[in-house]
Chains A and B, each alone.
Chain A
Amino acid sequence: MSLDQAGPAAPPAPGPATRTAGRRGAGAVGRRRNGGRSGRRWTPWLFLAPALLLFLYFKFIPMVSALTMSFQEVQPYLGNTWVGTENYTTVLQSSGFREAAWHTVVLAAGQTAGSMALGLALALLMEGQSRRLGFVRSAAFLPVVVPIAVVAELWRIMYHPTEDGMLNSLLGLVGFGPSGFINDPDTSMASIMLTGIWRGAPYDMMIFLAGLTGVDRGLYEAAKVDGASRWQRIRYVTVPGLRSVFSILFILAAIRGLRVFTEVFLLTNGGPDGSTEVVMTLIYKLGLEQNRLGVGAAGAVLLFVATLILTVVVQLLRRRESK
């Protein structure tokens, strides 16, 4: 940006002066002020630069690279060759991908709804100022901080499909027969979903707890005075007060659900009989196990687009609601 361009933004020189002198004076002030302003303009970028460079190198370049790869047959040593939209056709025409996409949507919806419902219930139960509650909240939050590999191994043990398995012995106490859980195509998806809800709910609980502090206590008291029941207070005071929390959590949980990988990979690897195959496990198999990186990249781009659309739609809905 030149000084002349900066001129109009500078105030006119005060006092009686010739036109030339005035312009010169304005230029001097403009130069001084512009110098200061441009310094201020660059300062945040300088602070952001390290993070941006890291993002560029480890996030944006790989993303562009994946986009490029999705149009190529990837052969790193021989040189990649352009194949146009062939990889996308392969992915979209594969029945495996369509099934995996459906499983992903079901799992994402189930885990999102389950985690939010359980998270809200836990938050309502653990809301308050008591010191003991802090300990209970930390304990409830443990599933989030435990590594997912450990979580998967714990649930694998709990899901042991014989009568002496941990969950099956509980089922036996109430008269139900042993379930195959992750080993039965009919129950595997629900089992993975349950593990996801167990892990995701405490995270949602913490966000809800933070949101609950912003709900006006006076509204509860007014509702109570008006004779509202506990359920009515939750429905007409708490839930509307948490609207923005709900939408943020929904986006976070839905993205988490669409990108589900580790628990499925560790517990079932998409089996049995492909009943828990999700897009991410399929991409992993195509790209890294079968060395078809171009096809895998096309699947990843499609998943990215789906996630982006979901996020934008939710944001638009939020904006419309706030208007």
Chain B
Amino acid sequence: MRRSRWIGAGFLASALVLTSCTSGPAGVDAKQDPHATLELWTRTKPGGPGEQGTLRLAQAFEKATGHKVKITAIFDDFETKLQQRAAQKKLPDIVMNDVTQLGAMHSQGLLREIDLSKIKNSKDLIGQGLDSGKSVQGKQYALPYSAQASALLIRKDWRQKLKLDAPRTWDDFAAMAKAFTTQDPDGDGKQNTAGLAAPLSTKRGYASWYFSNFLWAAGGDFITESGKGTYRPAMTSKASVEAMRWFRDLGCKDKSVQPGSVTMDTPPTNETFEAGKTGMFVVGPYLLPRFDETLGKDTYEVVPMPKGPKDATVLAEGGSVYLMAGSENRAGQDAFVDFAISAQGQKVGMEGDTGFVVQLPVNKTVNISQVRPDPRWKTYAEVYLASGRYAPSIPNWTPVRQATADTVNALMADCGLDLQAKLGELDKQLAGILKEQGIAAS
């Protein structure tokens, strides 16, 4: 063989050796150093107000406990970058990320179990918040530091102009959406407004995320628990079908959903509400500072979602503190999560007009009205406590959200599709996903 070929073969062999080095088994417990600096990753825009809020929280933690924290803010491809660190067996010590990431991170062995006896403030956590950090087997793998739930934002000036009351039922809701679409609420003489702003793109599963507020209020479900941590698909149940039909009619029959919704994720949808093109928006409290600035506080109002066929259940979400496996400072990890959920940590996290890391407190000893006197925040807190519901902690929620988003998007985009057949196909798909994750009911 010529020497150049040997060189080529050498390069290839080196590549194979190098790549195979990255797939060994997970490392054993690291040697402990209680003074080691904690590396914390948070999913927020670098240099943005979210990072400033996290820095404030970390500084207060350092002052209170003496542990050192190094913050890294990452927004784009957060999960991919975390996987890269996992491949290097060098995870950050703490991750602050969406509550729905629990299953994916736990099933990949990235998290360590939290011993609640070592987290003294855990006794003050709101029950559903505490439950949101449990794995499908019921073990605690995360603790929430911030919560949010959906409520209804309405253009107050439009509602008053058309002499309508805030909706209390789904019929009122649909009637108001139709009126905002057809009765020229902005008074420009053109029919250029829509009743409801809805991000119904498939990107990150937005269509499913938005629709869950209506599905659950109707008594429907994406997947339903069948005991012993197993689930079965539920999109063809009577309540789910009715919820989908009703929601679809808003777009297909009443034309009350903003045009182009099926290709819109959140930024362009937010803009339709800000630009006076839509009159209602079901969304969490994190957009209040933005809309206060662009629309003005008095232009819109916040009310709880009207009661659906079953109740007024809405999607609850938020952020959790995850303690990562392989840390050399487990005492520091425990101390941080304990501080983040304490009354002091929650109040520090709620400071600021825009850069707050805590939306709604998860500690029941914290009264939101004392920290934020704005009654709209109290409305959100009450909705969260009374009607908030988290997505279930299955090994990987993302495929369920993606599959359901694809179907909701399809049914809203093509009004000629057979609804029942499409939901039947979705149930088959969901059954496959549940089976693949080992949680399908037999």
Contact = CB atoms under 8 A, between A and B. Distances in A.
Interface of A: 1, 56, 60-61, 64-65, 68, 72, 75-80, 156, 160-162, 164, 182-185, 267-275, 285, 288-293
A272 B263 contact: yes
A272 B20 contact: no
B15 A76 contact: no
Contact of A185 (B12, B25, B413): B413
B110 A274 contact: no
Given A1-B3, A61-B19, A269 B26 contact: no
Interface string B216-254: 000000000000000000000000000000000000000
Interface stretch (B51-59, B201-209, B358-366): B201-209
Chain B: interface size category:
35 or more
B128 interface: no
A260 B108 CA distance: 31
B15 A60 contact: yes
B260 A161 contact: yes
B406 A274 contact: yes
B402 interface: yes
A185 B11 contact: no
B121 interface: no
B268 interface: yes
Contacts, number: 121
B25 A79 contact: yes
A184 B80 contact: no
B90 to A, nearest CB: 10
Given A1-B3, A61-B15, A285-B402, A271 B26 contact: no
A272 B79 CA distance: 26
Given A77-B26, A272-B262, A293-B83, A61 B18 contact: yes
A288 B77 contact: yes
B15 A64 contact: yes
Contacts of B201: 268-269, 271
Nearest to A186: B414
Chain A contact residues, majority secondary structure: loop
Contacts of A60: 11-12, 15
Contacts of A68: 16, 19-20, 23
Interface in B401-420: 402, 406, 409-410, 412-414, 417
B372 interface: no
Nearest to B190: A164
Contact of B402 (A78, A79, A267, A290): A290
Interface in B78-98: 79-80, 83-84, 86-87, 89, 91
Contacts of A291: 79, 83, 104, 108, 396, 398
Given A183-B413, A271-B202, 5 more contacts: A160-B259, A161-B260, A274-B406, A289-B402, A290-B402
Interface in B35-79: 77, 79
B325 interface: yes
Nearest to B82: A76
30 contacts: A61-B15, A68-B20, A75-B108, A75-B109, A76-B22, A76-B84, A76-B87, A76-B108, A77-B109, A78-B26, A78-B108, A182-B260, A183-B260, A183-B413, A185-B413, A269-B201, A269-B203, A270-B202, A271-B201, A271-B409, A271-B410, A272-B263, A272-B409, A272-B412, A274-B406, A275-B413, A288-B77, A290-B399, A291-B396, A293-B83
Contacts of B263: 156, 182-183, 267-269, 271-272
